[in-house]
Chain A
Amino acid sequence: MSDNLIRDKILELKALAEKASLDISREIADLEAKLRPASPQKNEAWRRVELARHPERPTTLQYAEEIFDDFLELHGDRTFADDPAMVGGIALLRGRPVTFFGHQKGRNMKDNLKRNFGMAHPEGYRKALRLARQAAKFGRPILTFIDTPGAYPGVTGEDRGISQAIALNMKEFSELPVPIVATILGEGGSGGAIGIGLADIVLMMENAYYSVITPEGCASILLRDSSKAPLSAQLLRLTPRDLLTFRVIDRIVKEPPGGAHKNIPAAAATLKADILTSLEVVSRRSVESMLAQRHEKFLSLGVFQEQEPRRKGFLQRLREIF
């Protein structure tokens, strides 16, 4: 079977299992095992994509267990439902109260069906916004954890306004008067990622990716061949090192050899240290200067050219407008 056939088979099985509420994680694991060694054209970008998607990769709740002294999960968007693909709550981080939320993937097939493979619905993004506003009210710093192939693209997402939910989060997060530190744990999938990705400091695990589109999607659209995903992973410049050069992220979080799943406590300890340092840096800023820097960080992203550069003037004038 070719990789694509196997992938199709896996998707088919998942859909079937969803319909019949069956646990077929073993069958799927078998199929996925066939997939892994077959991936062609090993390259750094593709290796990181594969590690980011590793079935044993630690999830948001696993990191929460490791990083926080204690935490209490809170549920629901107060409008429609609770989205198990987005988790969040209040936690104690070295004795200090913080608010956290992030995408949640499952650890097995049954869990993944419940978690919708980490693809959140609008109510997930609205739950995140509710928790973020609550954090602002009580002056708690916010930690967000990104790990999603993308926001849920189906009709139920459209029906409840996935575009509006993501757009509003970006707008509102830019004004929250508390420090925000975002971490890309595994998959930083497009709009689903940036929907909780607007932050003062953006950290990224060493084996994570952050991209406007999945390598497969890019391959099938621009290269007209979805099996060229490893090549498009390179072209998209989605590795932590690339993103650091584009100033899209601020720091790469070191992982244990072989990836975070090889030693979860060690990976979490490093991440915890980097989060603490980041919070310390942002907390030193006054609210005014923190927001000004946050605005500037995102308003200045992009690469283009013009004959008479006016950009500098623009950014200087920003402060007066905001």
Chain B
Amino acid sequence: MRFNTIQGWIRGLTDHPVQRKRDERLFIDEKNSCPSCQRPLTAAELEVTLYVCPHCGHHFRLTAWERIRYTADEGVFQEFSSDMESTNPLEFPDYLEKLAAAERKTGVKEAVVTGLCKVNGREVVLAVMDFRFIGGSMGSVVGEKIMRAMLIGAEKKVPVIVFTSSGGARMQEGILSLMQMAKTAVATQALEKSRCPYFVILTDPTTAGVLASFAMLGDVILAEPGALMRFAGARVVAGTIREKVPENFPLSQYHFERGFIDRVVPRGELKKTLGFLLDTHVIAQGGRG
């Protein structure tokens, strides 16, 4: 019997939508039209609209550094643990090659970038996942960097903002990747103790081991429109319980209607919304700012 819960559907993502999404940016370059609504569109226009189609509102996936550029105030982004790298603890075949290829392709060393910066003039710890790096999957490095980001936030008493985008746990690190779910969930308790605001923005896609750990534990949980959010993918569902689920289901709006996220916020309004949240959480930090 195929009971592949948490991560089985990664294949669904890496085989189909990712391919499509990765090509999205190429698609724009080659065809000068939106892959979603087919209307004319150029990369230059998208730069201005934060990679949102001005015609249909389709939100393109962003790289970690694009997201940081659109979120942080201009100036310094002090990156944490930029030298941290994955090893191959299970000696899983081809894993090191896969890591090297991902680094070459994306220019980032792992599936999350963390650091200290300012958003609307207020100091925050920012963690941004990059789906291009092995499907944004969470292994030991992602778990450790998320945990440290939270602990630094708790120690400095500054808000922690996390942008999630992940296929779930990283299979090649086996049980150690499953344990990162527990690790990051435990780390959110540090933010409780020091009364640090913790805001999560779910972006396309956020699923499985990441959705079922730190992503669902924010004080405020926002999501971008059209972001895929699910615990198990269509393939797993079909393989386990013979239920047919559409490939691109359920999206953020679905979870919003069921009360699991606070707001669906279009990318253009995100910075304003975050600014409001940061302004209203100053007192909780003991009057700073």
Q: Residues on A close to B: CB < 8 A?
A: 7, 10-12, 15, 119, 149-155, 157-164, 166-168, 170-171, 174-175, 187, 189-195, 197-198, 210-214, 216-218, 220-222, 226, 235-238, 242-243, 246, 248, 295, 298-299, 301-308, 310-311, 314, 317-318, 320-322
Which residues on the B side are within 8 Å of A171 (C-beta)?
185-186, 188-189, 217
In the complex the two chains form, what is the Cα distance from A226 to B179 in whole Å? 25
B5 close to A (CB within 8 Å): yes
Which residue on chain B has the smallest CB distance to residue A149? B3
Q: Knowing that A213-B5, A220-B239 touch, tell me 4 more A-B residue pairs with CB under 8 angstroms.
A: A166-B212, A210-B175, A235-B90, A322-B190
Which residues on the B side are within 8 Å of A212 (C-beta)?
6-7, 169, 171, 173-175, 177-178, 209
Taking a contact as CB atoms closer than 8 A, the residue among A149, A164, A216, A303 that contacts B176 in the complex is A303
In the complex the two chains form, what is the Cα distance from A305 to B96 in whole Å? 13
Known: A167-B213, A310-B81, A317-B151. Is A11-B242 also a contact (CB below 8 A)? yes
Contact indicator A217/B177 (Cβ below 8 Å) = no
B101 close to A (CB within 8 Å): no
Which residues on the B side are within 8 Å of A157 (C-beta)?
231-232
Taking a contact as CB atoms closer than 8 A, the residue among A210, A243, A317 that contacts B155 in the complex is A317
Which residue on chain A has the smallest CB distance to residue B148? A314
Contact indicator B231/A158 (Cβ below 8 Å) = yes
Q: On chain B, which size bracket covers the interface?
A: 35 or more
Known: A217-B236, A220-B11, A321-B155. Is A304-B144 also a contact (CB below 8 A)? yes
Contact indicator A150/B1 (Cβ below 8 Å) = no
Which residues on the A side are within 8 Å of B87 (C-beta)?
303-305
Contact indicator B214/A167 (Cβ below 8 Å) = yes
In the complex the two chains form, what is the Cα distance from A191 to B138 in whole Å? 13
Taking a contact as CB atoms closer than 8 A, the residue among A216, A220, A235, A299 that contacts B1 in the complex is A216
Kindly provide the distance from the CB of A268 to the nearest chain B CB, expressed in whole angstroms. 25
Which residues on the B side are within 8 Å of A174 (C-beta)?
182, 185-186, 189
Contact indicator A308/B186 (Cβ below 8 Å) = no
Contact indicator A299/B179 (Cβ below 8 Å) = no
Most buried by B among A119, A193, A299, A308: A299
Kindly provide the distance from the CB of B109 to the nearest chain A CB, expressed in whole angstroms. 10
Contact indicator B236/A153 (Cβ below 8 Å) = yes
In the complex the two chains form, what is the Cα distance from A115 to B289 in whole Å? 53
Contact indicator B231/A153 (Cβ below 8 Å) = yes
Contact indicator A197/B193 (Cβ below 8 Å) = no
Known: A11-B1, A153-B236, A235-B90. Is A221-B10 also a contact (CB below 8 A)? yes
B83 close to A (CB within 8 Å): yes
Contact indicator A163/B231 (Cβ below 8 Å) = yes
In the complex the two chains form, what is the Cα distance from A304 to B154 in whole Å? 23
Which residues on the A side are within 8 Å of B258 (C-beta)?
159-161
Contact indicator B2/A7 (Cβ below 8 Å) = yes
Contact indicator B151/A197 (Cβ below 8 Å) = no
**Per DSSP, are chain B's interface residues mostly helix, strand or loop, or mixed?**
helix
Which residue on chain A has the smallest CB distance to residue B14? A221
In the complex the two chains form, what is the Cα distance from A187 to B4 in whole Å? 12
Which residue on chain B has the smallest CB distance to residue A10? B1
Kindly provide the distance from the CB of A167 to the nearest chain B CB, expressed in whole angstroms. 4
Contact indicator B216/A164 (Cβ below 8 Å) = yes
Which residues on the B side are within 8 Å of A189 (C-beta)?
3, 5
Q: Mark B63-103, 1 if CB is under 8 A from A, else 0.
A: 00000000000000000010111110110110000000000
Contact indicator A302/B183 (Cβ below 8 Å) = yes
Which residues on the B side are within 8 Å of A238 (C-beta)?
174-175
Contact indicator B193/A190 (Cβ below 8 Å) = no
Contact indicator A305/B85 (Cβ below 8 Å) = yes
Of the A-B pairs whose beta carbons lie under 8 Å apart in the complex, a sample of 27, sorted by A's number, is: A7-B2, A15-B242, A119-B241, A149-B3, A150-B4, A153-B232, A190-B169, A190-B209, A191-B212, A198-B182, A212-B177, A212-B209, A213-B6, A214-B2, A214-B3, A214-B5, A216-B3, A236-B90, A236-B174, A236-B175, A302-B180, A304-B84, A304-B141, A310-B81, A314-B151, A320-B155, A321-B193
In the complex the two chains form, what is the Cα distance from A257 to B174 in whole Å? 28
Contact indicator B186/A218 (Cβ below 8 Å) = no
Contact indicator A191/B4 (Cβ below 8 Å) = no
Which residue on chain B has the smallest CB distance to residue A308? B83
B276 close to A (CB within 8 Å): no
Which residues on the A side are within 8 Å of B186 (C-beta)?
170-171, 174, 198, 295, 298-299
In the complex the two chains form, what is the Cα distance from A314 to B212 in whole Å? 25
Kindly provide the distance from the CB of B167 to the nearest chain A CB, expressed in whole angstroms. 10
Tell me the residues in window 1-44 of chain B with beta carbons closer than 8 Å to chain A beta carbons.
1-8, 10-11
Known: A198-B186, A213-B4. Is A321-B243 also a contact (CB below 8 A)? no
Contact indicator B155/A153 (Cβ below 8 Å) = no
Taking a contact as CB atoms closer than 8 A, the residue among B85, B171, B239, B250 that contacts A222 in the complex is B171
B230 close to A (CB within 8 Å): yes
In the complex the two chains form, what is the Cα distance from A149 to B139 in whole Å? 21
